[in-house]
Structure formats: structure tokens, C-alpha cells
Amino acid sequence: MVGETGLRALGLAVAVGYSAFIFWVYLEQPQTTAEVIGGLSATVGVYSIDQQAFDTGLRFFRQDQFVPARSAFERADPADRDARTQFYIAYSYYRQGWGRLYQDDQLFGLGLEAVDRAIALAPGLIVDDPDLQMKSADELRAELEAGTKQDLSDLNPLRALRQRK
């Protein structure tokens, strides 16, 4: 009898856990195994980034080597679950796509996606890095969004005098 009760309790626990997993998977729509594992571990609060890869990415980022920087950041946060790393990825798209006379819309668009992920993970995110002029994710988002829009201010010759943030 005890065996049957234990079996029924185990079955119930498995069914509840499996149902929760299905609900989560349909909600989050992960695309890779890393995203599944990372998402699940983030849900239970045990997700952590690869700090060494993050530091490598930060070093490349400060040397304006944005492609290898992003590669390292993506290695550090394969599940796209760390707001700070996503913020730096978005910032790298901003700096790479920024130009005195034009903005690279494609890179800014990718930056918007990354900063949206960062904001979704940590609304009101502030990154205290003296190397950055934009420290909040909302500010970075506004800058990226403005860069992808086309209006009359694009024709203003004084735009050539502005500085990259």
C-alpha cells in the first residue's frame, strides 16, 4: 500500500513538473539546447554566465573590436539570460553601427533586439561602467531606436559634429 502511494505521489510530481516544463517551453520558445538549459536554470535561480568569456568580451569591447567581443559575450551567455551581457552586446552593435554621417540600420536593429532582451530580463537596468556614456538600458534603447528612424533631422549638417557615446 505504501508502495502504491509512493508511486502515485511520484507520478503526480512527475506530471506536474512535466506540465510546468511544457508550459514554460511554449511560453519561451527556446531555439537551442543551451537556451532550454539556461532558461530552466534561470527559472530556478541557478543560472550564471561564463565570467572568463565575459571578461574577454569586455576587453575586446574596450578595444573597439566588436565582432570578437560579441562572440565572447555570446559564449558567456549562451541562453541570452543575463541582462548585463545582453546590454553589452547591444552596446557593441551601437558602437559598431554608429557613424558621423549615417547609422547602420541593420546593426542598430540587432542592437535593439539585444537591449530589449536586457530590459525584459532586468527592467530599469543600470550598468555602472565608466567607459560607457549611456549607463541605462532605456537610454541605450532610445538611442538605438532614434538611429533606425529616418526624419528631417537626418539632413541636419550639424549631425557630423556629434560624438559617439
Partner 1 sequence: MTPIREALYLPLVFLTVTLLGGVRVADRVALVPPPLFALVLATMLLSILVRCGALVPERLMRADRSALANINGLVVLLATFAAAAQAFNIATPESGLPRLFCQVFLFVLLLNTLVASPDRVRVLRSLVVIFGSAFVLKFVILAAISNPGEGGLKRVLLAMLEGLTLGTLTQAVVSPVTGYVAFAVLVLFLLGLAMLPARAGGLVRSDLQAHRYELTRS
Taking CB under 8 A as the rule, does residue 20 contact partner 1? no
Say how far apart CA 127 and CA 84 lie, in whole Å.
Answer: 7
Do residues 69 and 61 touch, judged by C-beta distance below 8 A? yes
For residues 18 and 102, which CB has a smaller minimum distance to partner 1 in the complex?
18
Q: Is 33 in the site for partner 1 (CB under 8 A)?
A: no
Taking the C-alpha atoms of residue 99 and residue 165, their distance in angstroms, rounded to an integer, is 11
User: Which range, of 14-22, 74-82, 94-102, 127-135, touches partner 1 by CB under 8 A?
Assistant: 14-22
3-class DSSP assignment, residue 61:
helix
Regarding 51 and contact with partner 1 (CB under 8 A), the answer is: no
| 29 scored as a contact of partner 1 (CB under 8 A) | yes
Q: Applying CB under 8 A, does 11 fall inside the site for partner 1?
A: yes
Q: Which is nearer to partner 1, 12 or 146 (CB)?
A: 12
Integer Cα distance of 38 and 41 in angstroms: 5
**Amino acid, single-letter form, for residue 81:** R
Q: Is 5 in the site for partner 1 (CB under 8 A)?
A: yes
**Nearest CA among 123, 122, 107 for reference residue 77:** 122
Nearer to partner 1, 14 or 120 (CB): 14
Residue with cell 541636419: 156
Please classify residue 84 by burial: count the beta carbons closer than 10 Å to its beta carbon, then call 0-12 exposed, 13-18 middle and 19+ buried: buried
Q: Which is nearer to partner 1, 20 or 126 (CB)?
A: 20
102 near partner 1 (CB under 8 A): no
According to DSSP, residue 153 is labeled G
Closer by beta carbon to partner 1, 8 or else 100: 8
How many residues of this chain interact with partner 1, rule: CB under 8 A? 18
Report the interface residues with partner 1, using CB under 8 A. 4-5, 7-12, 14-15, 18-19, 21-22, 25-26, 29, 31
